[in-house]
Structure 1
Amino acid sequence: MENFYLTPEEAAIVFTPRVMELKNKAIAKVMALMGRLQEALAAYDAASDFPFEPEWLQQGPKISKGEQYKSLPWVILDYPRYFSKTEVFAFRSMFWWGHYFVGTLHLAGDVKRRFEASLLTAYAPLAAAGFQVYLPDDPWEHDFENGNYRPIGDMCLEDWKRLVGRKNFIKLAKPFALERWGEIITDIVEAYATLLNVLVKGRD
């Protein structure tokens, strides 16, 4: 028979409505933060000369939230976002309760192949900036647990080249401590700028 009795730790939360009130207020503030972040990313796009294809921006920004990414609340901003059946060009900014913020560039299909030469030459700047590369075959994990990501600076150049070429997609991500809350918009925009810059430089 399933045990429905609360542990003392669970009871302390269940019997205290203020806990959920504060949690809901915090998530509302994260949603507002993501709105400001989207504006900052769009402002960077407007001032840059990155060769966006029109369809990469037509889908528009999307902010979503949920309660159960590995049992914890989350908020995600996808901007820019372009998802088709075979291609992806997306930058995902994620807040994961109790863990960190993450900025992730996801390229797939012909979009990934378009920038593959740039990625092959981007080892040094990406490693220096603290980016990590996604390892599993399923592209839809978002966290850094269980070996999902490996710091680019921890691999040699030849391993990086093999990894860039071995899949139909690539995800490059950088985590930021929750303690960076007040600086997170600047931090993520800077990470985004670094990613776009290395993609452009490799094509010059």
Structure 2
Amino acid sequence: MESFELTPEEAAVVESTHFILLKNSAIEKIMVLMGKLQEALAAYDRNSNFPFKPEWLLQGGKISKGEQYKGLPWVMLDYPRYFSKTEVFAFRTMFWWGHYFSATLHLAGNVKRYYSAVLESSYTKLAEAGFQVYVQEDPWEHDFENGNYCFINTLSLDEWKTLISRNDFIKVAKPFVIGHWGKIITDVVEAYAALLNILENKGA
């Protein structure tokens, strides 16, 4: 039978409202930050003329939050986003409590196939920019732990091409330390711009 007795540390936490109130206040500020980030990404889009294909039916940005991504709170912005049963074009920014922010380009289905060649040819640019690639089979893991990601610059060109062709999706991402709070919006927009500039080589 599982014990319900609290440890001294647990007892100190449940007897106090201070930590929970601080946590709730921090999460609300992160939600505001994500809203400002969406505005910054949208402003970049207005000035970039990136050729989003009309059949992707891009939806408006979505900010969501939860308490239990591997036991810890999280906040997530999907912008831009297109999700269907088989296809994805999404740029996802995630805050994971106690860990980091991350910015991830997720392509799947025909969208991923459309960009496969330009991703292959952009190996050097992505590697030099410090991006990582997801190497597991489940596309809905978001963290950089447990070997989920590896730096593109640690792969050979042949290994990179194999990863691109292996699954029906690909995720290219970069984490940002929470301590650089004031730079998060700038850093994420720069990562977004770099990725769109690479994809734009595909043409219309």
Query: What band does the TM-score fall into relative to the shorter chain?
Result: over 0.9
Any residues of structure 2 matched to 1:36-185 within 5 Å, and which? 36-56=36-56, 58-185=58-185
1:94–1:57 Cα change, 3 Å? farther
Structure-1 residue corresponding to 2:19: 19
Please, what TM-score do these two structures have when normalized by structure 2?
0.97
Using the alignment, how far apart are the partners of 1:190 and 1:78 within structure 2? Answer: 16
Structure 2 gap segments, 5+ residues each:
none
Using the alignment, how far apart are the partners of 1:57 and 1:36 within structure 2? Answer: 23
Structure 1 gap segments, 5+ residues each:
none
Contact 2:51/2:203 (8 A) holds in 1: no
Letter in 2 for 1:140: W
Using the alignment, how far apart are the partners of 2:202 and 2:160 within structure 1? Answer: 15
Structure-1 residue corresponding to 2:31: 31
RMSD: 1.2
Q: Report the number of matched residues.
A: 204
SS at match of 1:105: strand
Using the alignment, how far apart are the partners of 1:104 and 1:57 within structure 2? Answer: 20
Identity, % of aligned positions: 67
| 1:120-141 Cα deviation digits (max 9, x unpaired) | 0111111111110001111000
Letter in 2 for 1:34: M
Structure-1 residue corresponding to 2:4: 4
Please, what TM-score do these two structures have when normalized by structure 1?
0.97
